[in-house]
Structure 1
Amino acid sequence: MPAFLVVFAQSHSEFRIPELESVAKLHGFAISFPSDCDPSRPFMIITLELEEHAHLLARRCILIKQIYELYGQGNTYDELHMANKANSHLWSPYVQDTSFKFSINAYNHRIHESRQRSIMESFTYMKFAGKIDMKNPQIILGCFEEYDTALGLREDRDGNFHQVYFGRLVADGSARALIQMFDVKKRLYYGNTSMDSEVSLLMANQALASPSKLIYDPFCGTGSMAYPIAYFGAQVFGSDIDGRQMRGKDGQGQPPGVFRAAQQYGVVDRIMDLCTFDVTRNPWRCGNLFDAIVTDPPYGVRAGAKRLGRRKELSEEKKAANIEHQLAARTTQQPYIPPTKPYELSLLAADLVLLSRYLLKPQGRLVFFLPTVNEHYEEVDVQSMLCDGMELVANSLQDFGSWGRRLVTIQKTTSEAYLPPSFDGEMRETTGHVPAHKDFREQYFRGFKKDSDVQ
């Protein structure tokens, strides 16, 4: 199959391969990676059956800047030219009458104009007879030198690159423009827990959001997940234990908060509804409803997870007083706000997987963020959350130093019908393993120090 060179934006390197695989799966084509593929590098070689598949990736993948048909690569220009000559059948159709432009670039280095000219002149053996057009060429030929990031920007290393690539531009990554479109700072409604636009778009891709699909966010908040998912054509249902997060402040004749922002993006007709309820006491009476569940569960840095209930049971006397308070609230038409208690993150994550197994259609995906303490993280932390019929697809780290958050993608692999979870601890691990995300809020605010280190 033809080889293509992917030029990445320099962010979220661990998310690159999962996004490529998800978009390929969404469009139903195969994508292959070399055995020594390193997603942390700025360039990646992939193989695809058709050039059209490269266009599909460039139109949907958020992390792609450009895709080139690969003509050659090497540790030196001699190796590159040898490979390019061997692939002359790829570029020979453009030799006679195709206008073209050369683009010489380097990662983590600046190539002086004089050497750029000498690089271009080294390709004269290709004998391109078409017009050189710097503004509107029919094809763009790109050459990329990759320098080691550990050495920094140093003039004395000019030409001492790690690898050099050459090829024809196939597609620009048009999906990156969506990052600015969904920028939280430009949004009509957002809160202090609103998700970064680039990450929410990545999550939508992991969920395979597309027309005719129904996707659910059980911790909807200010709707950051809903907008890109709806933009990609899916129908969205959202819920939250705190309806105020979804509604926002009452405006003068304006729609509620999430719907107001959805109008801004032209997707309000794809927001099916927003409901206020505790996910552990949900109204769903049948499973196999949703094609995906995409969410960012609250983990306590800016807002902690809650569920209905009290920290301590009330005495009979206080129970009677509480009932009177509820009746009084009804007669005075004042809203009654039920009591809540903390929802520990490791329990929430395990419950979320069980709920997803019940609610997802076969092959449906659960996509969510899991914060974790980097020093203590182990693969078993995520594996231990899985249950029968649920399989891990991807687990990518967004590193913040001492802690990070993992974008976890889990797929329902069974068509067997399951009862709804009881949220009382069923099927949780009893091996004694303590995951790195347990009591994350407490660990975060004490600086991830051990109990013995805290004075």
Structure 2
Amino acid sequence: MKACYLIAFAQSHSDFRLPELQSISEIHGFQIHLPKDPDTSRPFMVVELDEEEHAFILAQRCILIKSIYEFYARGTTYEEVHEMNRSNRHLWERYVPDTSFKFIVTGFNHTIPQRRQRDVIESFAYMDFRGKIDMKNPEITMVCFEEYESRPAPANGPPRKRCEDDGGFKEVFFGRLIVEGTARQLVGVFDVKKRAYFGNTSMEAEISLLMANQTLASPGKWIYDPFMGTGSMAYPTAHFGAVVFGSDIDGRQMRGKGKPPGVIRAATQYGIASRIIDLCTFDVTNNPWRCGELFDAIVTDPPYGVRAGAKRLGRKRELSEDKKALYLQHSQNPRSDDQPYIPPTKPYELSNLAGDLVLLARYLLRPGGRLVFFLPTVTDEYQEVDIHTMMCEGMEVIANSLQDFGSWGRRLITIRKIATQKFSPPSFQHVEEDAMDTHVPAHRDFREKYFQGFSRGQCNGDQAGTVST
């Protein structure tokens, strides 16, 4: 039988909340019933679950959940809250006779004076709990939340008083604490600053954990990162039980200095080195894969040129016929003092990279597998059709979450393979199309737009400093 539960979210990455809830419920094979028009900007959400056990599962895996409550009442006034709470007496009356309890009244975006906290608690006296009040180890904890609108601090004049506008809440929620969220502790565990090996493009811990949840990482899953870098995606996915294979065109990023390789050193720190299957150096457009449908998920943060540019094998300019003949002659008669050959590379334009990544995923993913990656976009230019310019037959977008930096942002795109037939390896050949007949997505030539300050002046340095590329 379905029951209502109140979720209190951490105040970060609000656009990522629903995809994470849906992903975790899919991993564990249960359904979460969301409101008809969920407002992800608000800190609270009432959902329906078939079993209370599902609330514990969500709290143990969802990075953005602070706590979950058995939902009793809500209202824009306390009169509405009490009326609804009385109508739901069957939910809480079993605790009336002899259950020890604690009662908490708290505000979101507001500090409630202690005197009014007591008044609110006393207004629930009709519940007539006869058990012992225990502030340290109660059997149940009843919580009343007052949600206030966000109020920016005044630019000039005296600062706002601590309890200013007390009682002017937007809505009140009331319920019994079921479980505190434990997954958020992993943000500290995977903190980049505490990691044995990291680089200037390492993804921050919270985002990498959210990406891992989007892959449905769990024991028995095989996950691939084609732009491995310093391994930020590998650690949380392996922590959740998946085995990981990584590759990069620049092996130095994965190896670092010393032995074992930097990625393996960090994986050892987290106790998941045995789940890193292998690390290989190759260009993703000239890959060694000779059969498809290998992986359950592909997760990556492709380089898009702000801190590190994307590269692929090839020359920026084709060699003349004379130089080609000279290189051929040299390859047939190498000198004894020659250094190891380093193949030339050329820039990899982001819109081409994104389209190729989807094609590669269609080839390498098993049916139902997921591709999870970040795509930077210019805020003023972005349109929904931008995502469709990189799509291909057999793949569908199931989540598109924005991390907003103002004049630009990056979108966490989750794409599922819905096709069941096998596909040939992609050729990664790009044909220039007539610009008049083709939609230009907001992520095309992103690097150039970024360094030109987009269309509204220079990009904010603090914003740019928070992003890995």
Normalising TM by the smaller chain, what interval?
A: over 0.9
2:164 to 156, 175, 194: 156
Q: Larger deviation: 291-300 or 156-165?
A: 156-165
Q: Larger deviation: 378-387 or 339-348?
A: 378-387
What aligned pairs does 1:25-424 form with structure 2 within 5 A after superposition? 25-150=26-151, 155-250=163-258, 254-322=259-327, 331-332=336-337, 334-424=339-429
1:440 to 436, 446, 459: 446
**How far does the alpha carbon of each residue in 1:293-345 deviate from its partner, in whole angstroms, 9 at most, with x for none?**
00000000100100000000112333355457778988447432210000000
Q: Is the 8 A contact 1:218 1:279 kept in 2?
A: yes
Q: CA deviation at 1:217?
A: 0.2
Alpha-carbon spacing, 1:242–1:325, altered in 2? closer, same or farther (3 Å): farther
Q: CA deviation at 1:387?
A: 1.0
Amino acid at match of 2:296: D
Distance between the aligned counterparts of 1:197 and 1:317, measured in 2? Answer: 51
Distance between the aligned counterparts of 1:70 and 1:429, measured in 2? Answer: 56
Amino acid at match of 1:166: F
Percent identical among aligned pairs is 65
**How far does the alpha carbon of each residue in 1:179-208 deviate from its partner, in whole angstroms, 9 at most, with x for none?**
000000000000010001000000000000
Amino acid at match of 2:187: I
Runs of 4 or more consecutive aligned structure 1 residues displaced over 6 Å after TM superposition: 324-330, 426-430
**How far does the alpha carbon of each residue in 1:376-412 deviate from its partner, in whole angstroms, 9 at most, with x for none?**
0000000221111101100000000000000000000
Amino acid at match of 1:216: Y
The DSSP-based 3-state class of the residue aligned with 1:115 is helix
**How far does the alpha carbon of each residue in 1:257-310 deviate from its partner, in whole angstroms, 9 at most, with x for none?**
000000000000000000000000000001111000000000001001000000
Distance between the aligned counterparts of 2:115 and 2:55, measured in 1? Answer: 33
CA RMSD in angstroms comes to: 1.9
Alpha-carbon spacing, 1:125–1:287, altered in 2? closer, same or farther (3 Å): same
Amino acid at match of 2:122: E
Distance between the aligned counterparts of 1:331 and 1:255, measured in 2? Answer: 31
Distance between the aligned counterparts of 1:335 and 1:161, measured in 2? Answer: 69
Which residue does the alignment assign to 2:465? Answer: none
**How far does the alpha carbon of each residue in 1:161-192 deviate from its partner, in whole angstroms, 9 at most, with x for none?**
00000001111110000000000000000001
**How far does the alpha carbon of each residue in 1:223-276 deviate from its partner, in whole angstroms, 9 at most, with x for none?**
0000000000000000000000000012xxx31100000000000000000000
Distance between the aligned counterparts of 2:376 and 2:420, measured in 1? Answer: 30
Amino acid at match of 2:439: H
Distance between the aligned counterparts of 1:294 and 1:185, measured in 2? Answer: 22
Q: TM-score, normalised by structure 2?
A: 0.92
Which residue does the alignment assign to 1:3? Answer: 4
Q: Is the 8 A contact 1:373 1:403 kept in 2?
A: yes
Distance between the aligned counterparts of 1:55 and 1:417, measured in 2? Answer: 38
Q: CA deviation at 1:36?
A: 2.8
The DSSP-based 3-state class of the residue aligned with 1:149 is coil
Alpha-carbon spacing, 1:90–1:317, altered in 2? closer, same or farther (3 Å): same
Distance between the aligned counterparts of 1:428 and 1:180, measured in 2? Answer: 47
The DSSP-based 3-state class of the residue aligned with 1:156 is coil
Distance between the aligned counterparts of 1:211 and 1:137, measured in 2? Answer: 36
Distance between the aligned counterparts of 1:375 and 1:60, measured in 2? Answer: 35
Distance between the aligned counterparts of 1:148 and 1:387, measured in 2? Answer: 42
Q: TM-score, normalised by structure 1?
A: 0.95
Distance between the aligned counterparts of 2:63 and 2:340, measured in 1? Answer: 43
The DSSP-based 3-state class of the residue aligned with 2:83 is helix
Distance between the aligned counterparts of 2:53 and 2:393, measured in 1? Answer: 38
Give the unaligned 5+ runs of structure 2.
Answer: 154-159, 458-469
Q: Is the 8 A contact 2:31 2:49 kept in 1?
A: yes
Q: Is the 8 A contact 2:355 2:391 kept in 1?
A: yes
Q: CA deviation at 1:429?
A: 10
Q: Is the 8 A contact 2:109 2:147 kept in 1?
A: yes
Alpha-carbon spacing, 1:305–1:345, altered in 2? closer, same or farther (3 Å): same
Amino acid at match of 1:129: R
Q: Is the 8 A contact 1:326 1:336 kept in 2?
A: no
**How far does the alpha carbon of each residue in 1:6-38 deviate from its partner, in whole angstroms, 9 at most, with x for none?**
101100000001100110111111111112310
Amino acid at match of 1:130: G
Distance between the aligned counterparts of 2:254 and 2:91, measured in 1? Answer: 54
Amino acid at match of 2:409: G
Distance between the aligned counterparts of 1:227 and 1:300, measured in 2? Answer: 24
Distance between the aligned counterparts of 1:79 and 1:2, measured in 2? Answer: 20
Give the unaligned 5+ runs of structure 1.
Answer: none
Q: CA deviation at 1:137?
A: 1.0
Q: Larger deviation: 216-225 or 419-428?
A: 419-428
Q: Larger deviation: 151-160 or 88-97?
A: 151-160
Alpha-carbon spacing, 1:265–1:329, altered in 2? closer, same or farther (3 Å): farther
Distance between the aligned counterparts of 1:344 and 1:68, measured in 2? Answer: 47
Distance between the aligned counterparts of 1:59 and 1:428, measured in 2? Answer: 48
